[in-house]
Amino acid sequence: MTRVAIAGLGTVGCGLVSLLEQRGGQVARGERVEIVAVSARDKNKHRPFSTSRYEWYDDAVAMARSSSADVFVELIGGEDGIALSAARAALESDKDFVTANKALLAHNGGELARLAEQHSRSIGWEAAVGAAMPIVAAIRHSLFANRSERLIGILNGTCNYILTRIEDGESFETALAAAQAQGYAEADPHADISGLDAAHKISLLSALAFSTPLALEQVSVEGIANITLDKVRAVARNGYCIRLLAICEAVPDGLSLRVHPCLLPIGSRLANVSGVCNALIYQGDFCGQVFISGDGAGGNATASAVAGDIFSIARGRKIPLFGLPSANLSALPFCPLQDIISPWHLNFRVRDQVGIVASISAVLRDCGISLASILQDGSADGDADNVSLFLYTHRASTIAIDRALSLIDKLGILQSAAFAIRILEMNEDK
């Protein structure tokens, strides 16, 4: 029998209790799984189950250390504090550790992996990236023989929900309020909107897929706070939508780790991922492109992944946190964002006067940026004096684009700040 202690009884914790009560014995059969202890801040809060069935701990760390559990499940949240103390205590007490906490692992995964190895324990974290999406098991097992080439993910459901609502005609602020009303976004949505949450997740996946030590500090992060309804409408007229992508890819100079909004052709696989759904394209040298999508958030979806880890542990799985023993992970050089090359979309709001296009395109030429197309649109907003210029470039580095934008700004012709966004290059002919 596998005994489980659960710390944190919010939506996910209650979902997990419900799942394990329904089928702890049934699903695992030979490997019965049973909750023995629970912990949360407030014992007397109303919950859909009776906590009196289980040993109660006010202190999660004490539960991690003292309970009779074989597996300690951490659903408290936070990158350090109680969650980290409890994780350490659980592993030091020879318990397996399962968590949905990406911030905790992104900051402390290296230490916890070593601790788990010292104590011959497992760390399950399927739920930490993409909730019910089975990407950790896929990369750890089925795809493990591949040399990873590229991972492109929509890994933050809140941002994707907001971007989808903007596509449907809402302002950023209204969409964010809707996400909060639905319970998708926190009262303080900073970690989602800023791209930090997606950065946590892609740093974890990159360590697993590229067998490298965790390197959260190497992730270049740009969020979606400047994506407006106007911008979304403008790119939609040219056949694109905007998604916040988390990308990890092998480039000639090393590994590129980044989170930023990106244009995708409407109708492409990632563009079709809407609402709080998450998705990942994994590209390996032998498997080609594998696409996985599913519910990226929610109590039941997350509980599904946590329980999957518990059952895997109950059935004897012992795979290191990042697939390989810590000592076998090898650091790769990182390629800074400024050297990453991609096509770009540039959007300038300018006065409608002679020579503007010539001035802007001269700057781009001087910066070595080649134009794929240029469109002028003055009709959209009844502002007769100004026009919008939509430029689509061929491949250019971030540093070249930054330089061009700075020079264009100095021309003194912009009526508002320029908007520049990368365009995803993706071979989707299969």
State the nearest-atom distance from the C-beta of 323 to a second copy, in Å: 9
User: Binding segment for a second copy among 240-248, 283-291, 337-345, 414-422 (CB under 8 A)?
Assistant: 283-291
Query: What is d(CA 387, CA 410) in angstroms, rounded to the nearest whole number?
Result: 18
From candidates 137, 166, 193, 227, binder to a second copy by CB under 8 A = 137
From candidates 224, 277, 360, 400, binder to a second copy by CB under 8 A = 277
Query: What is d(CA 187, CA 340) in angstroms, rounded to the nearest whole number?
Result: 34
Q: Should residue 291 be labelled a site residue for a second copy when binding is judged by CB under 8 A?
A: yes
Measured from the CB atom, the residue of 22 and 406 that comes closer to a second copy is 22
Q: Should residue 183 be labelled a site residue for a second copy when binding is judged by CB under 8 A?
A: no
Measured from the CB atom, the residue of 265 and 378 that comes closer to a second copy is 265
Distances 138 to 99, 157, 322, 409 between C-alpha atoms, Å: 18, 20, 12, 46
Give the dihedral sign, CA 355/357/360/361: negative
State the nearest-atom distance from the C-beta of 26 to a second copy, in Å: 9
Q: Should residue 303 be labelled a site residue for a second copy when binding is judged by CB under 8 A?
A: yes
From candidates 47, 269, 395, 403, binder to a second copy by CB under 8 A = 269
**Segments of 343-385 assigned E as strands:** 344-351, 371-377
Is-contact 324 211, C-beta < 8 A? Answer: yes
**Residues with catalytic roles:** 201
Q: Should residue 267 be labelled a site residue for a second copy when binding is judged by CB under 8 A?
A: yes
Distances 140 to 124, 131, 346 between C-alpha atoms, Å: 11, 16, 39
Q: Which residues of 35-57 are buried (b: 16+ CB within 10 A; e: fewer)?
A: bbbbbbeeeeeebeeebeebbeb
From candidates 179, 298, 387, 390, binder to a second copy by CB under 8 A = 298
Q: Should residue 162 be labelled a site residue for a second copy when binding is judged by CB under 8 A?
A: no
Is-contact 204 214, C-beta < 8 A? Answer: yes
Read off the tokens for 415. Answer: 């009526």
Q: Should residue 13 be labelled a site residue for a second copy when binding is judged by CB under 8 A?
A: no
Binding site for a second copy (CB under 8 A): 15, 19, 23, 27, 29-30, 126, 132-134, 136-138, 140-147, 267, 269, 272, 274-277, 284-295, 298, 300-301, 303-305, 307-312, 315-319, 324-325, 328, 430
